[in-house]
Structure 1
Amino acid sequence: MSDSRLKRIGVLTSGGDAPGMNAAIRATVRACIYHGVEPVAIRQGYKGLIENALEVMNARSVANIINKGGTFLKSARCEEFRTKEGRAKAFATAKAANLEGLVVIGGDGSFTGAMYLEQEHGLACVGVPGTIDNDIYGTDCTIGYDTALNTVVEAIDKIRDTATSHNRLFFIEVMGRDAGFIALNTGIAAGAEEILIPEQENNIDNLMTELQNSGRAGKSSSIIVVSEGDASGGVFELARTVEKRCPQYEAKVTVLGHIQRGGKPSCFDRVLASRLGVAAVETLLGGESGVMVGVRDQQVVKTDLDRAISKQNMIDSHLMRVAKIITV
């Protein structure tokens, strides 16, 4: 049942951008309108909430954005919001604007801010997971993850053409400072010979053994996908070490970097973002807050913000075994 007391709901994006954030904003705004609630967009995340960068939206305000990457509301780091005084300013803006609920689209840092805002000032907040890393607990997939996977696989496929043409060994660094979801899945999908992720202890001697076995098996080129959080000393150091110990290889490094965050969101991400934007609004209207909406087994589920922040999605051990088997 909707809580008829809620008349105005704010929406912001915070943290790193992810493809599909615009679709989530669009769904949030239109769900508000559908339920007779006035949607208010907050530009530049929590910084905009402190500085009163608010704008009342209508259905046409979010037209033609579902297919665009990034976030048209923009995102910004805000050190001031990390302080109690800064959050008090943000709440004062929200109160003056008669905001009775807030939809926060972002990652764990964004959710931490939402949790504090609710605990310290009582502003009802619901989180929507938007990050390419897929490291948020409480959802099978985060908004932007699927698009990032497709971007990385396309890039690796192109790099492999060069690798095979020149008998080269390519180390490809992908995003994932604390989680290896992108590296593991794209490594399997692109047929990488080795995959190095933070969740797995990697030894340079083991890597050398695998490369030597690959050489004996007749492989003249290899693709090694490395998560940026891998503890092997960094992708450039890895390449230097391999060149010294395997002079038959010409080692090259490609850091895909922020290309992984950009581009048009995939169909999967557009649908996921639309589902979660609607779910966030209806959660607030149902009188719930302090939660993140996500999807488990194709069903929308809710997870307390503190659990979504403190716990972490775990790498699928079966998938790691699959990767080991198919790289022989």
Structure 2
Amino acid sequence: MNIGIINFEMAPAGVNQLLHKVISELLQAHTVTGIRLDAQTGLLTYKDYEEENVAGTFVDFRNLLQLSPLTEDITVFDTLADFDAILVIGPQQAEAFVRALNERLDRTNCLFIPVSIYRNVVETDQSLGYDTAINYVIDSILRIRDTIDSLKYPNPRLLGVQMEGNVPHQALDEMAVAIGGHVLNHDFDEQEVDGLKKALRKEFASGQTYAFLLFDERIDAKRIPGELLTDIAIDWKTHKIDESLCMGPEPTAADRILAMKMAGGIVDWLRNSQSSGKLLVKSRKAKVELY
């Protein structure tokens, strides 16, 4: 079987471990090729994994497959009709591409393998990369907390932790729970702001000298002290967390385990010669839902 693999837009922690496992398993009986769309030329380039030493350890393979940009022009991928199966790794937005590619390539089965650092993948319980990302964010905030705790300010310090990108409510909520912080969602209303004020006043009145507020880049950080919280005496400071730093470099144990489960689901799908679909994780098991 001739198998192609392409990775769109995002490669969070655990993707390289997944690729290593899948490729090393498949090379025993199949041809496996890495596919990349060059953003400059608009052409596809290929990597024959039979020529790579994929039998080595994970640490030796940090860049098994370079990222490709998502594009609306799908005609460039018509040449992939020579493959028996295409594995497509990427964020939720890439599923539309997979479905379109599946319609164009009659004899090629396509498998969408969703990954996300914010667990915003539709219909799945877990997403590869989320545990590593949230651990990085929490660890970063806790290090800041240790610094704040040793300093004195005229007013209580409110540290705004601004996440890059569009972060789902659930991800912000879980980060806030872990650090004992607060959330301001991009679609906030007056009631949510009033609730935030009430919670902050209660904490500061109890003697707490700092608090954390998590929000994403859809909110202008200057609006919070200058418009939304003008009636609370605070010392405001913003700390931005770069999305790229949440990608790794090394996956947590949870993401390593998830990567191996997903790799097993991919290999089973190929060995059973199933039709096109997407890989989901439900009840801690990876399984393919066919289109």
TM bucket normalised to smaller: 0.7 to 0.9
State the alpha-carbon separation in 1 of the partners of residues 55 and 195 from structure 2: 51
Among 150, 154, 162, the alignment partner of 2:135 is: 150
* 1:296-315 superposed matches below 5 A: 296-304=282-290
User: Aligned AA for 1:184?
Assistant: D
State the alpha-carbon separation in 2 of the partners of residues 173 and 289 from structure 1: 42
8 A Cα contact 1:9 1:37, kept in partner: yes
8 A Cα contact 2:197 2:229, kept in partner: no
Among 108, 112, 119, the alignment partner of 1:134 is: 119
CA RMSD of aligned residues (A): 2.7
8 A Cα contact 1:152 1:186, kept in partner: yes
1:245 aligned counterpart, secondary structure:
coil
More strand by share: 2
TM-score w.r.t. structure 1 length? 0.77
Give the gaps of 5 or more residues in structure 2: none
Partner of 1:195: 183
Alpha-carbon shift at residue 125 of structure 1 (Å) = 0.6
State the alpha-carbon separation in 2 of the partners of residues 62 and 173 from structure 1: 41
Give yes or no for the alignment of 1:63 onto 2:63.
no
Among 41, 54, 57, the alignment partner of 2:46 is: 54
State the alpha-carbon separation in 2 of the partners of residues 158 and 178 from structure 1: 22
Alpha-carbon shift at residue 282 of structure 1 (Å) = 2.1
Give yes or no for the alignment of 1:159 onto 2:148.
no
Alpha-carbon shift at residue 301 of structure 1 (Å) = 2.5
Partner of 1:172: 161
Partner of 1:206: 195
8 A Cα contact 1:127 1:280, kept in partner: no
User: Aligned AA for 2:205?
Assistant: R
Among 279, 294, 311, the alignment partner of 2:280 is: 294
Partner of 1:15: 9
Deviations 1:156-205 (CA, angstroms, capped at 9, x unpaired): 1011123332341101122561512332222111222x123458756323
Cα 1:283/1:200, change in 2 over 3 Å: farther
Partner of 2:222: 236
State the alpha-carbon separation in 2 of the partners of residues 304 and 133 from structure 1: 24
8 A Cα contact 1:240 1:251, kept in partner: no
Partner of 2:36: 43
1:223 aligned counterpart, secondary structure:
strand
Cα 1:169/1:141, change in 2 over 3 Å: same
* 1:247-266 superposed matches below 5 A: 247=233, 249-258=234-243, 259-266=245-252
Give the gaps of 5 or more residues in structure 1: 1-6, 306-328
User: Aligned AA for 1:120?
Assistant: R
Partner of 2:96: 112
Partner of 1:318: none
8 A Cα contact 1:68 1:263, kept in partner: no
State the alpha-carbon separation in 2 of the partners of residues 224 and 67 from structure 1: 39
Instruction: Give aligned pairs, total.
Output: 283
User: Aligned AA for 1:133?
Assistant: Y
8 A Cα contact 2:8 2:70, kept in partner: no
2:230 aligned counterpart, secondary structure:
helix
User: Aligned AA for 2:163?
Assistant: V
8 A Cα contact 1:171 1:251, kept in partner: yes
State the alpha-carbon separation in 1 of the partners of residues 224 and 61 from structure 2: 36
Partner of 2:75: 88
TM-score w.r.t. structure 2 length? 0.86
1:74 aligned counterpart, secondary structure:
coil
User: Aligned AA for 2:98?
Assistant: A
Alpha-carbon shift at residue 16 of structure 1 (Å) = 2.3
8 A Cα contact 1:174 1:225, kept in partner: yes
2:215 aligned counterpart, secondary structure:
strand
1:203 aligned counterpart, secondary structure:
helix
